[in-house]
Amino acid sequence: MSIISDSLKRIKPSPTIAVTQKARELRAAGKDVIGLGAGEPDFDTPDNIKDAAIKAIKGGDTKYTAVDGTPELKKAIVDKFKRENNLNYSTEQITVGTGGKQVLYNAFMATLNKGEEVIIPAPFWVSYPDMVLLAGGKPKIVKCDEKDGFKLTPKKLKKAISKKTKWLILNSPSNPTGAGYTKDEIEGLAKILIKSKKVHILSDDIYEHIKYDNFNFFTIAQISKLKDRTLTMNGVSKSYAMTGWRIGYAAGPREIIKAIRKIQSQSTSNPSSVSQAASVEALNGKQDFIQERSDAFKERRNFVVKSLNNIKGISCLTPNGAFYVFPSCKQLLGKKTKLKTDSDFVEKLLEKANVAVVQGSAFGLDGYFRISYATSMEKLKIAMERIKSFCENLY
């Protein structure tokens, strides 16, 4: 009899973390590897946020806090939703976890029964299906076409909803594609969801502030008829370059928030007190650097998209958010190149060109790969040259 649980056997390690770790190991072994796999801003946490953390440490703010967030941080989150999204919540409708990932995990553990379905548009963030499986649910993957900008359409949503559907996950702007849903597109999906009456929506808004080309962010909780069925997750990791601080949060129905608190009370308990104090400053303090950094990301995006589209066999859409591109390598797969899958492409790219990216199949869509351009322009220029040389030498 195996000591490992059956639920754990249903899942696999995170492919994005695996690629990042592989790149680290190769660099440690002396290889000149450029890692384009990690979804982490290369910018540092702003000084005012660091100073708030230092002040909290010196002030003795180093004890246990309330399980799902301090009153100060919950108030800052309530104010954020009102100020930026015109959404009204009470602090009882807010939960704070150790990163957005824990918030999502807690939500599924708290709400899913065996066999209940979660609609997940593909390409998707790699952890969604595995978290659903761990909670005993069933991921229902809906593949979204490149011609639709990798976004879920009302027609596909309607077809996917069944009597067993519990949740729909919406991630905008998206990891891995950077695609953002417009207000009209959200409203189109909302019409289907309003009719369904029972489906809850988990809106992953973690890339809300990283957007380009006058893209207007709109979240589905702003549809009044769906607010009471929506759990809106966000955090400080991406916008404020605070990945290591591990603070995510969500707003939603009291019943769900209470259930999440119960799960967290028997798992990790409260997030770091120091990180919470820093996050209060992040949300309440100056915000001007967010646009400055988005402008830098936009410059990188433009360079990467143009470079990829100038490579024979590669094609790439221009995303309107996040810091990823999701180019197609389908033309490079086949007898001529001896590469059968996108995994083969990614493996050979690392082996021959010392560039680490993530295969599209890890995100639920074959024939693509994901590049994170959250790194310096200098490294991106070298990486694009290496990818171009690698692709040209395949024939």
pLDDT digits (tens, 9 = 90+) for 261-299: 999 999 999 999 999 999 999 999 999 999 999 999 999
What is the reported pLDDT for 389?
97
Residue with the two structure tokens 């990042």:
20
Query: What is the rounded distance in angstroms from the CA atom of residue 233 to the CA atom of residue 217?
Result: 14
Which long-range CB contacts under 8 A does 343-347 form with residues at least 24 apart? 345/369, 346/19
- Read out DSSP for 285-352? S--HHHHHHHHHHHHHHHHHHHHHHTSTT-B----SBTTEE--B-GGG-BTTTTB-SHHHHHHHHHHH
| Nearest by Cα to 58 from 273, 245, 281 | 273
Residue with the two structure tokens 């209060």:
280
| Nearest by Cα to 125 from 212, 42, 207, 242 | 207
Strand 94-97 to 230-235 pairing? unpaired
Strand 200-204 to 230-235 pairing? parallel
Query: What is the rounded distance in angstroms from the CA atom of residue 262 to the CA atom of residue 165?
Result: 24
Asked if 150 and 174 touch (Cβ cutoff 8 Å), the reply is yes
Amino acid at 100: G
Hey, what domains does the chain have and what are their CATH numbers? 6-44+289-392 (3.90.1150.10), 63-284 (3.40.640.10)
What is the reported pLDDT for 2?
84
User: What does the pLDDT look like over 210-267, one tens digit per residue?
Assistant: 999 999 999 999 999 999 999 999 999 999 999 999 999 999 999 999 999 999 999 9
Asked if 42 and 374 touch (Cβ cutoff 8 Å), the reply is yes
Whether residue 26 has pLDDT greater than 90: no
Whether residue 67 has pLDDT greater than 80: yes
Q: For the chain, give the percent of residues with pLDDT over 70.
A: 100
Element (H, E) at 274: helix 273-284
Mean pLDDT rounded to a whole number for the chain = 96
Element (H, E) at 251: strand 248-251
User: What does the pLDDT look like over 5-25, one tens digit per residue?
Assistant: 888 888 887 777 777 787 888
**Quick one: average pLDDT of 175-185?**
98
Distances (CA, A) of 264 to 11, 205, 269: 21, 21, 5
Query: What is the rounded distance in angstroms from the CA atom of residue 200 to the CA atom of residue 191?
Result: 14
Query: What is the rounded distance in angstroms from the CA atom of residue 171 to the CA atom of residue 160?
Result: 17
User: What does the pLDDT look like over 134-147, one tens digit per residue?
Assistant: 999 999 999 999 99
**Quick one: average pLDDT of 47-75?**
98
The model's pTM is 0.96
Residue 204 pLDDT class (50, 70, 90 cuts): very high
